[in-house]
Chains A and B, each alone.
Chain A
C-alpha cells in the first residue's frame, strides 16, 4: 500500500467518525459506559484482592517448644525448621520476650495478674514465629514441622499452632471474593462486547449501500475495510479514553476523601500508583480491541456478498 493511501484511510476513518455524528456518539458512549462499569468493578476487585492479600499475609505459624530444653537443642530444632522450603522467615521468640509481649498486650487487670512472674518462674515456653511464602501452604508447612517432632526421640515441640480451621475458612472467603470479582469482570466484558457490536453493526448496516457502491467502482475489500478499521480504533480510543480519565480522577478523589476521613482508616485503599496503570492499560486496550473488533466483524458480512 502506498503511504498516501494509508494516509487517505486514516483521513477517511476520521471523517467518518465526524460525519456519522450520532452513530459515532452512540458507539463511543456505549463503549465508555460499559467500560466504566467494568472499570469500577476492576477497581473494586483489585481492592478486594489487596484486602485478601493483607488478611492472608497475617497468617502465621507458632511453634511452642517443650519447657526446659537446653540451648543446643533449641538451635537444632531451629535448623531443622529452617530447612522446610515453604517458610519465608523463622524468628525465635524466647520465653522472656514472650512474657514481655504478653505484658504489653494485656490491659491493667492483666498486668496485675502477671506481676508475680519474673525471669525465674516464667511459665511461658520458648517459641518460633514463622511466616510462609504462600499463605495457602500454611497447613502443609505446619505438618512438616510436626513431622520434625515425630522424628526426634526427645519430642522437643510442644505444639504447632496456625489457627487450623480458622485459616481455612479465611482462605475460603478470600478465594471466593477473588473469584466473584473475576467472574463479574469477565461477565461485564462480554456484555460490553455485545452492546458495542450491536451499535457498530447498526452503523455499518446503514452504510451497506455505500459498501456496495464502493465495490462497483472497483474498490478491493481491503480498501473498503481500512477506513472502518481506523474508525473502530478511533471510536474505541475516544470511548475508553474518556472512561480512563473519569475512573482515574474519580479514584484519586476517592482516595483523598477516605484518607481525610478518620472513620475509614481501617480500610486502606490500593494507591493510584498500584492500580492506576493496570486499569488504564486494560480499559484502553479493551476499548481499542472492542472498537476494531466491532467494526471488522460487522463489515465482514457485507464484504463477502
Chain B
C-alpha cells in the first residue's frame, strides 16, 4: 500500500527532515507516527499525499511511484488519499454539506450520487442534522468530523491524519478516534501522526517512532514510549 525505500528529504533552506526512511505499510493497517516535534513526522505524511517530494529514494502509494509523478497528475492521486489536519481545513464559506460534496464534485460525480453519498457519510459521522450549517457555527469536534466525512466520501484507500485530535478535549478526541477506528474496520488504511500518549497507549496499534528523521522504533501494538 505505502512503501518507502531509503527516503531522504532536505528542504531548500537546508533543514534535513528525513534521513533514510525504509517502511512498508500494508492495506488495512492503522499506524501511529510518534516522536518529538520537528522529528520529521509531518514531512513523512506530506510525502504520502505528495505535498512534498523526496530528495532521494523511492516512494509508492497505492502502487504509484509518486516520487516521479508529473505535477498535473497530482490531483488524481490525491483523490485516493483522504487527509485530516489538526486545524480541520474546511472551506469557510461553504456549508457542511457543500464542504463534503466538494470532494465529490472534484471527481465530477453525478449530482444525485453526490447527494446520496454526502448524506450517507454525514450520517456516519453523526452530523446529518448540521448539513446546512457553516463551519464557523460548529464546535471543534464537529468540524473535525466534517473533515473526516470529506476525507472518506470518495472511499479512499488511505487516510493520512496529522494530529487530528491536537485541538480537541479528551472526550471529543475519543469520539474522533472511535470514528477513525470504525473507518479502519471498513477497510481503509490509516496513518496518523499524534502526540496523544493516552490514545496510543489505550487504542493499541502499530507504532512508528521517528527521531531526527530516522525510524527508531516500529512496533505492532506498541506504546507511546515518551514521557510528556
Interface residues of A (CB under 8 A from B): 1-2, 4-5, 8, 16, 19-20, 209-210, 212-221, 223
Q: Are B108 and A213 in contact (CB under 8 A)?
A: no
Interface of chain B residues 143 through 176 with chain A (CB within 8 A)? 150, 154
A5 B108 Cβ-Cβ under 8 A: yes
Q: A210-B93, A214-B102, A219-B106 are in contact. List 12 more A-B contacts (CB 8 A).
A: A8-B105, A16-B93, A19-B93, A210-B92, A213-B91, A214-B106, A216-B83, A217-B79, A217-B83, A217-B102, A217-B106, A220-B72
Q: Flag whether B107 is at the interface (Cβ < 8 A).
A: yes
Contact of B78 among A1, A4, A216, A221 (CB under 8 A): A216
Contacts of B110 in A (CB 8 A): 4
Return the chain A residue nearest B73 by Cβ: A220
Given the complex of chains A and B, what is the CA–CA distance between A4 and B101 in angstroms?
14
Q: How far is the CA of A16 from the CA of B92 in the complex (A)?
A: 12
CB distance from B81 to the nearest CB of A (A): 8
A218-B105 CB under 8 A given contacts A4-B110, A4-B111, A210-B92: no
The prevalent SS among residues of A at the interface is: helix
Question: Which of B75, B89, B93, B103 has the largest number of chain A CB atoms within 10 A?
Answer: B75
**Could you tell me the distance in whole angstroms from the C-beta of B91 to the nearest C-beta in chain A?**
5
Task: Tell me whether A5 and B78 are in contact in the complex, defined as CB-CB below 8 angstroms, given that A216-B89, A220-B72 are known contacts.
Answer: no
How close is A210's CB to chain B, nearest CB, in angstroms? 5
In Å, the complex CA distance between A217 and B26 comes to: 23
Instruction: Please provide the chain B residues from 70 to 129 with a CB less than 8 Å away from any CB of chain A in the complex.
Output: 72, 74-79, 83, 89-93, 102-103, 105-108, 110-111
- What separation, in Å, do the CA atoms of A220 and B92 have in the docked complex? 20
Binding site for A on B (CB under 8 A): 49, 72, 74-79, 83, 89-93, 102-103, 105-108, 110-111, 150, 154
State which of A19, A209, A217, A221 has its C-beta within 8 Å of the C-beta of B103: A217
A243 to B108, CA, bound (A): 38
Q: Which residue of the partner chain A has the closest CB to B82?
A: A217
Residues A220 and B75 in contact, CB atoms below 8 Å apart: yes
A8 to chain B, nearest CB (A): 6
What residues of chain A lie closer than 8 Å to B92, measured between beta carbons?
Answer: 210
Indicate if the CB atoms of B83 and A2 lie closer than 8 Å.
Answer: no
User: Which interface residue of B72, B83, B103, B106 has the most chain A CB atoms within 10 A?
Assistant: B106
Q: Judge whether B106 and A223 touch: CB under 8 Å.
A: yes
Q: Do the beta carbons of B103 and A218 come within 8 Å of each other? A: yes
Contacts A/B (CB < 8 Å), 23 sampled: A2-B108, A4-B110, A4-B111, A5-B105, A16-B93, A19-B93, A209-B89, A210-B93, A212-B89, A213-B89, A214-B102, A214-B106, A215-B74, A217-B79, A217-B106, A218-B76, A218-B77, A218-B79, A218-B103, A218-B106, A220-B75, A220-B106, A221-B75
Give CA–CA (A242, B119) in the complex, Å: 41
Q: How far is the CA of A221 from the CA of B76 in the complex (A)?
A: 11
CB distance from A7 to the nearest CB of B (A): 9
Contacts of A16 in B (CB 8 A): 93
A56–B179 Cα gap in the complex (Å)? Answer: 84
How far is it, in angstroms, between the C-alpha of A214 and the C-alpha of B83 when the chains are bound?
A: 12
Docked-complex contact B108 and A215, CB < 8 angstroms: no
Query: How far is the CB of B12 from the nearest CB of chain A, in Å?
Result: 13
Q: How far is the CB of A15 from chain B (nearest CB, A)?
A: 9
